[in-house]
Amino acid sequence: MARTDARGVAVVTGGSAGLGRAIVRELADRGWDVAVLARGADGLDGAVSDVRARGRRGLAVSVDVSDGADVERAADTVEQELGEIDLWVNNVMSGSIATFLDTAPEDFERATAVTYLGTVNGTRAALTRMRSRDRGHIIQIGSALAHRGIPLQSAYCGAKHAVHGFTDSVVSELTHEGSAVAVSIVDMPALNTTQFGWVKSNFPHHPQPVPPIYQPEVGARAVADVADKPRRRTWVGNSTVALILGTRVAGRFLDWYLAKNAWEGQFAPDAQASTSSPNLYEPVPGDHGAHGAFDDKARGESLQTWAIRHRTPLYTAAGAAAAAVLAVGGSLLRRR
């Protein structure tokens, strides 16, 4: 297919459901053609239908991102069908809710392979193509939990920490080369996604993201904003900012606080355990969209992300206000 506009071709891994699905929709709304990489056929078809309904070209590619050769084949398919890849979003993740010692070694390894190595494989596939062209943008979907681990999610937290270290290394190498390829990390707060119905858990209550919970569209808008104007790091949501800064200045207090509150906070006491099968090894059949089970608790906007989106007029207003204060102060000093 020929390119139809200057916006370009985007790839979103894990784009069939949850945050990835919301990112796919938001990018298509902003004029991107979108290739969706995931495992489940139903969700892939639904995501591509979303893209096409917005007047953009969509492509579904079934892939297990933990397999590097599979990801390379998927990237080749995207460039053959849609054109050169301009934007690659590494969003895919998987995990379980259990203590470290109660997590089967194979479950831990699988969650790490999908969440961490899936990002590594996606970055390699994107960078191999972008580096030779000296253009392109890779966005890693990070997490507040990349800065502070919480109980019952050791595999996920470890993988997200690893994504940060890996990305810093890649960025330093690109900087050394003087490459024009951009790499960004967008750290997410707790989101109301399908993952909490699919996560592997033996607990009697339905897993939930630790409140406050935001709708996935909040994260998707932040990702699309970074795609519009690359930024090295972006923290999404007041809770993400508070957790990261709190870790830097009061780490020992957070050890105590999270041990006391984050355990119970990961379960919905008013909901029974999910009847869905976990997606750790196999995709969940059906097209499940972007939202999880917590629409009644989730926030549709964050003042912090609104401020990021409108930072240029805010900076202008702040500069004007500062200039006005200085002018008034100068006038008063002259009168004296």
Active site residues: 156, 160
Q: For residues 6 and 4, what is the distance between their CA atoms, to the nearest angstrom?
A: 7
Q: Which helix (H) or strand (E) holds 267?
A: strand 267-272
d(CA 83, CA 179): 21
Residue 61, C-beta contacts closer than 8 angstroms, at least 6 positions apart: 35, 36, 37, 44, 74, 77, 78
Q: CA triplet 71, 155, 269: central angle to 5 degrees?
A: 115
- Written as six digits, the tokens of 269 are 């006491």
**Which DSSP letter does residue 210 get?**
P
Question: How many angstroms separate the Cα of 180 from the Cα of each of 116, 155, 173, 176, 234?
Answer: 24, 33, 12, 11, 19
CB atoms under 10 Å from CB of 223, counted, come to 26
Give the helix/strand (H/E) hosting 334: helix 311-335
Fill in the amino acid letter for 63: V
CA-CA distance, 55 to 265, in Å (whole number)?
41
- Percent helix, strand, coil in the chain, to 5, is 50, 15, 30
Question: Counting runs of H as helices and runs of E as strands, what totals does the chain give?
Answer: 12, 13
In degrees, rounded to 5, the angle at the alpha carbon of residue 63 between the alpha carbons of residues 217 and 173 is 75
